[in-house]
Amino acid sequence: MPTNSQGTANARDPLSPPVPRRRFVEALLGGGFLATAVAFLYPVLHYLVPPKASDLGSDAVVAGRVSELKPNSGKIFRFGNRPGLLIRTSGGEYRAMSATCTHLSCTVQYRDDLRQVWCACHNGKYDLNGRNISGPPPRPLEDFEVQVRGDEIFARRRREA
Ligand code: FES
C-alpha cells in the first residue's frame, strides 16, 4: 500500500490515476482571478461605452390629463429617460418644458406661490415659458409644444426649421 511523506497509509485506490491537485488549485485560483478582473472591468467598460439613449424613439408623450391639473399647478412627467414639466397656468393655458435645470441638471419644479419654475439646488428661476430669469441657470429650459386631445395632454419636441 502506498504511503505518504509521514509514513501513514494512503487511502487512495492505487489503480486510479493520481489526483491532479496542483492543477485543480491552479484552475480554482485562475477562475477566481478572472472573476475578480471581470468584476472590476465590467463597470469601467459600462461607463466608457454607455447604453444607447432610450429617449430618441419618440418626439411626443402623454404628459398628463386635463382632469388631473387644476389652474396654477404643475406636474413632472417622463419624457424618454428625462423629466418634463407640465404646467397649467392661472389662466388655464398649458405649458410644457424640460424639467432638467440648465445649470447642473437638477430637476426643476413649478412653484404655485411664485408662479414660476424653480430649481431647489441653487435657487434658479425660470418664467412660465422656460426662460431663465434669476440665479445661476445659463440657458432657458427646452420648450415643448403642447396639444390637448380629449382628456390627454401631449408634449412634443419642437422641430428645428
Ligand atoms: S442646478 Fe438648478 S440652479 Fe443649479
Q: Which atom, in ligand 1's list, is nearest to the CA of 106?
A: 1
Provide the CATH number for the domain around residue 67: 2.102.10.10
Q: How many folded domains does the chain comprise? A: 2
Structural domain contains residue 3:
no
Based on the fold, state whether residues 40 and 63 are members of the same structural domain.
no
Mean pLDDT of 93-103: 96
pLDDT tens digits along 13-70: 666 666 678 888 888 898 999 999 999 898 888 878 766 544 444 789 999 999 999 9
Whether 67 and 151 have beta carbons less than 8 Å apart is answered as yes
39 and 60 together in one domain: no
pLDDT digits (tens, 9 = 90+) for 116-156: 999 999 999 999 999 999 999 999 999 999 999 999 999 99
The label of the residue with cell 404646467 reads 87
The answer to whether the CB of 133 is under 6 A from ligand 1 is no
The pLDDT score that the predictor gives to residue 56 is 45
- Determine whether the shortest distance from the Cβ of 97 to ligand 1 is under 6 A: no
Which one, of 96, 110, 87, 111, lies nearest residue 141 by Cα?
96
* Distant-in-sequence, close-in-space partners of 2: CB < 8 Å, separation ≥ 6: 9, 10, 12, 14
- Whether 8 is covered by a domain: the verdict is no
Domain shared by 33 and 104, yes or no: no
Please indicate, yes or no, if residue 9 is contained in any of the structural domains.
Answer: no
Residue 57 makes CB contacts below 8 A (sequence gap 6+) with 80
What does pTM read for this prediction? 0.66
How far is residue 91's CA from residue 88's CA, in Å, rounded to a whole number? Answer: 8
Domain extent for 27: 20-50
| 84 and 103 together in one domain | yes
Residue 69 lies in a domain: yes
Regarding whether 145 and 129 lie in a shared domain, the answer is yes
Ligand 1 atom showing the smallest separation from residue 124 Cα: 3
> Using an 8 Å Cβ cutoff, are 108 and 85 in contact?
yes
